[in-house]
Amino acid sequence: MTETTPTSPPPTTHRGAADEDLALLRRLLVTPEQAEVDALRLRLDDPRIHARDVSGVLAEAIVLRAREDDELQRALQPIFARTLRLAIQEDPALVADALYPVLGPAIRKAVAHALRDLVQSLNRILSRAFSIRAIRWRWEAWRSGRSFAEVVLAHTLLYRVEQVFLIHADTGLVLQHVAAPDVPTEDPSLVAGMLTAIQDFVRDSFGAGERETLDEFEVGELVVWIARGPEAVIAAVIRGTPLPIVRTTLEEQLERVHLTHREALQAFDGDASAFADTGASLEDCLLVEVGDRSPGGGA
């Protein structure tokens, strides 16, 4: 005998439908909020979004905090110090290049101070010297109100800067060239090339470092003074015996060019037109010192 059991719809069917309805209802009710919650969760979980958000207010936050107290500076100070130390350790040239326009004037100031002391002591020594010429020069110094050392220098040192070359350090190509009036000149490109070759030769032959340079050399009555920066070299062809002011001027103009034309120097590919405006700076280096006996002998 078979026993039949009354058939009843499985309870799950009802429950399933109810669940679906509920889910639908939930979706209808909470979908917009759910999307917002998801978006918020994403914001919380994704560090890139955090970074973007912070970057938007970082500068303002720093300004605000710096107005309040010095805590931020105190917190950052050791980090900056470590970063700088690390940067110097890894690439000293990078930091040296960045500081080059700043360090030059500071060093020159210190050297000028030392030189002034030297001139003063020279004055003392010279004031003891006794000769007819010395008496004449002392008279001249008294008359003109200049120091005795200045008068002696004016009588003994005569020079004229005849040509100035601005040369790209890496390629040896000429960037700018100026010459005093009536000075016969060769093609500046050739002279700049040979000057660079001579520098390379000296460095290569004597094992000097990349930044070390031949500062000066003499050719008959001419003396060539050279100053080297990270990207460019300045060379002056001088007739006679130049005063230190010539070197100072060369270095100052070289620093100025580095400051004003750094990007053009780094991107230089043989087109010197970007350096056309450095002519005036170079002309400032065309110094003349005439040692006549008039009080305004120097020009």
Partner 1 sequence: MLEKKVCMVGAPGVGKTSLVRRFVESVFSERYHSTIGVKVDKKVVAVDGRELGLVLWDLEGADELTPLSLAYFRGAAGYLLVVDGTRATTLEAARELRDATEAQLGSLPHLVLLNKTDLPDAWAVGDGAILAGAGADVRRTSAKTGSGVEEAFLALGARLLG
Helix (H) or strand (E) holding 239: strand 232-240
Residue 250 engages partner 1 in binding (rule: CB under 8 A): no
One of 127, 144, 147, 171 touching partner 1 (CB under 8 A): 171
- Classify residue 108 by its DSSP letter: H
- How far apart CA 97 and CA 108 sit, in angstroms, is 17
8 A C-beta contact, residue 149 and residue 126: yes
Stretch that binds partner 1, among 14-22, 55-63, 172-180, 250-258 (CB under 8 A): 172-180
One of 198, 274, 288, 290 touching partner 1 (CB under 8 A): 198
* Closer Cβ to partner 1, 141 or 272, answer by number: 272
* Closer Cβ to partner 1, 196 or 249, answer by number: 196
Residue 201 engages partner 1 in binding (rule: CB under 8 A): yes
Shortest distance (Å) from residue 191 CB to partner 1: 9
Max distance between CA atoms of the chain, in angstroms, equals 158
* Closer Cβ to partner 1, 130 or 206, answer by number: 206
One of 154, 173, 179, 236 touching partner 1 (CB under 8 A): 173
Residue 189 engages partner 1 in binding (rule: CB under 8 A): yes
8 A C-beta contact, residue 276 and residue 176: yes
Count of residues that interact with partner 1, criterion CB under 8 A: 21
Q: For 127-155, give one letter per residue: b (16+ CB within 10 A) or e.
A: eeeeeeebeebbebbeeeebbbbbbbbbb
* Closer Cβ to partner 1, 172 or 295, answer by number: 172
Query: 284, exposed or middle or buried, with CB in 10 Å at 0-12, 13-18, 19+?
Result: middle
Q: Interface residues for partner 1 in 252-271 (CB under 8 A)?
A: 270-271
Q: Can you give the three-state secondary structure of 150-218, one letter per residue?
A: HHHHHHHCCEEEEEEEEEECCCCCEEEEEECCCCCCCCHHHHHHHHHHHHHHHHHHHCCCCCCCCCEEE
Shortest distance (Å) from residue 215 CB to partner 1: 17
* Closer Cβ to partner 1, 69 or 204, answer by number: 204
* Closer Cβ to partner 1, 15 or 211, answer by number: 211
Residue 232 engages partner 1 in binding (rule: CB under 8 A): no
Stretch that binds partner 1, among 12-20, 188-196, 251-259, 286-294 (CB under 8 A): 188-196
- How far apart CA 159 and CA 241 sit, in angstroms, is 5
Residues 6+ apart with CB under 8 A from 237: 161, 162, 163, 164, 165, 222, 223, 224
8 A C-beta contact, residue 180 and residue 160: yes
Q: Is the dihedral of CA 247, 216, 191, 171 positive or negative?
A: negative
One of 183, 193, 274, 290 touching partner 1 (CB under 8 A): 193
Shortest distance (Å) from residue 194 CB to partner 1: 5
Residue 174 engages partner 1 in binding (rule: CB under 8 A): yes
Residue 186 engages partner 1 in binding (rule: CB under 8 A): yes
Q: Interface residues for partner 1 in 110-169 (CB under 8 A)?
A: 168
Q: Interface residues for partner 1 in 270-299 (CB under 8 A)?
A: 270-272
285: three-class secondary structure by DSSP: coil
- How far apart CA 84 and CA 76 sit, in angstroms, is 12
Q: Which residues bind partner 1 (CB under 8 A)?
A: 168, 170-174, 186-187, 189-190, 193-194, 197-198, 200-201, 203-204, 270-272
